[in-house]
Copies of this chain bind each other. A is one copy, B any other.
Amino acid sequence: MVDPVRVAIVGGGIRGSIFARVVGEHPRAELAGICEPAPPVAERLASEFDTPIVGSVDELLDKHAPDAVIIATPDFAHVEVGLAVLGRGLHAMFEKPLATTVEEAGVLRDAASASPGKVMVGFENRWNPKFQAVKRLMGQAGAPLIAQRILLQDTEFVPRQMLSWAGRSTPGWFLFPHTLDMAMWLSGARPVEAYARGVRKVLAPDGIDTWDRISATILMSDDSIVTLDSGWVLPESRPAVFQFHYEVEAKGALYDITIDDSGITHYSADRASYVGTPDTDSRGRLVGAHIDMIRDFIDLCDGQDVETPDIEQGYEVTMAIAAIHESLRTNANVRIRY
């Protein structure tokens, strides 16, 4: 029997807690510890997990000897943790996006190339069976790609109630990593030019200083077009907290993909909701694309041959989203050079 992979988590929020549970469930992994600086959150974690809960990354890494670290801090707080992990040669999984500036993404990329550890970026939609099915069909058909038209939006609940840091992010940094990575993964092409425009009519007047809504167009290296529409001011009467509609147009083919509508609508006395699949199976085991992602990360650390999004792809996604934000700021069209 080989030693289990010791996995630590940095950031014990909603996602970090789920990831800790997946690790705990995994037959070939064990939880090495969780770093969470906020005392009330740390307290909750301590009551749920039988693992050290610490307040500093260095303590986590040096004292609790993880083999692998999942970095689940807010979007803009990946670089310092990442460098600490990569500098020690540990395996690392970054929640998407890798970073929110090209500079930070570049620093992490360089650190990763110098590290013997495995590195992965958590573009979880690649584990969504719907997108996997489309990718296989597209691969079989091999038809020239014309356009990808992608809508991913959140209701106002997200920037107003779910995220405390919405004003320090944008719907671009929060949502485009999902869609842009998918556009790149499905096409096998890279962004070469970004155009974007945005609207600030709803949140900024209420003191949340960010874009309500961004429309971006990306030219791809295969001469196809990707349009990305994301915002977070949808009315809360939508049947899910997010809306996700993805259209792929190729020569002789159209793929029309709706992710948010699960096929089940529950009309209760006062609202209509899409019913997602349960978070756990009939015996309480976690299920879902993000769960499979973490399991694949553990397998990757365990030496298995798993195809996962690598840091180069994480870097490219950050490049392109940074270009989108530069276009938003300058009104110019921005070339993307790798």
B146 touches A251 (CB 8 A): no
In the complex, A259 Cα to B212 Cα: how many Å?
27
B199 touches A133 (CB 8 A): no
A215 touches B147 (CB 8 A): yes
Task: Provide the residues of chain B in CB contact with A136, threshold 8 Å.
Answer: 278
B266 touches A146 (CB 8 A): no
Task: Tell whether A2 is near chain B: CB-to-CB under 8 Å.
Answer: no
For A134, A225, A307, the residue with the greatest tally of chain B CB atoms inside 10 Å of its CB is A225
Task: Tell whether A63 is near chain B: CB-to-CB under 8 Å.
Answer: no
Q: Mark A277-299, 1 if CB is under 8 A from B, else 0.
A: 11001110001000010001000
In the complex, A174 Cα to B272 Cα: how many Å?
26
A235 touches B278 (CB 8 A): no
* Interface bin, chain A: 35 or more
A262 nearest CB across to chain B (Å) = 7
Task: Tell whether A202 is near chain B: CB-to-CB under 8 Å.
Answer: yes
Q: Which of A243-281 contact B (CB under 8 A)?
A: 247, 249, 251-259, 261-272, 275-278, 281
| A272 touches which of B202, B239, B307 (Cβ 8 Å) | B239
For A195, A202, A264, the residue with the greatest tally of chain B CB atoms inside 10 Å of its CB is A264
A254 touches B234 (CB 8 A): yes
> Does more than half of chain A's interface fall in helix, strand or loop, or is it mixed?
mixed
Known: A146-B201, A231-B147, A278-B133. A267 touches B251 (CB 8 A): no
Task: Tell whether A129 is near chain B: CB-to-CB under 8 Å.
Answer: yes
A275 touches B137 (CB 8 A): yes
Task: Provide the residues of chain B in CB contact with A212, threshold 8 Å.
Answer: 146
A263 touches B259 (CB 8 A): yes
Task: Provide the residues of chain B in CB contact with A271, threshold 8 Å.
Answer: 237, 271
Task: Provide the residues of chain B in CB contact with A219, threshold 8 Å.
Answer: 197
B129 touches A235 (CB 8 A): no
Task: Tell whether A167 is near chain B: CB-to-CB under 8 Å.
Answer: no
A206 nearest CB across to chain B (Å) = 11
A236 nearest CB across to chain B (Å) = 7
| A225 touches which of B132, B199, B261, B278 (Cβ 8 Å) | B199
For A215, A256, A266, A287, the residue with the greatest tally of chain B CB atoms inside 10 Å of its CB is A266
Task: Provide the residues of chain B in CB contact with A292, threshold 8 Å.
Answer: 281
Known: A129-B278, A197-B225. A146 touches B253 (CB 8 A): no
- Residues in A lying within 8 Å of B, measured CB to CB: 127, 129-130, 132-134, 136-137, 141, 144, 146-147, 149, 151, 195, 197-199, 201-202, 212-213, 215, 217, 219, 223-225, 227, 229, 231, 233-239, 247, 249, 251-259, 261-272, 275-278, 281-283, 287, 292, 296, 306-307, 331, 333
Chain A to chain B contacts (Cβ below 8 Å), 18 pairs: A127-B282, A133-B277, A146-B201, A147-B213, A147-B231, A199-B225, A215-B227, A233-B251, A237-B267, A237-B269, A238-B254, A255-B264, A256-B264, A256-B267, A257-B264, A261-B263, A282-B306, A283-B306
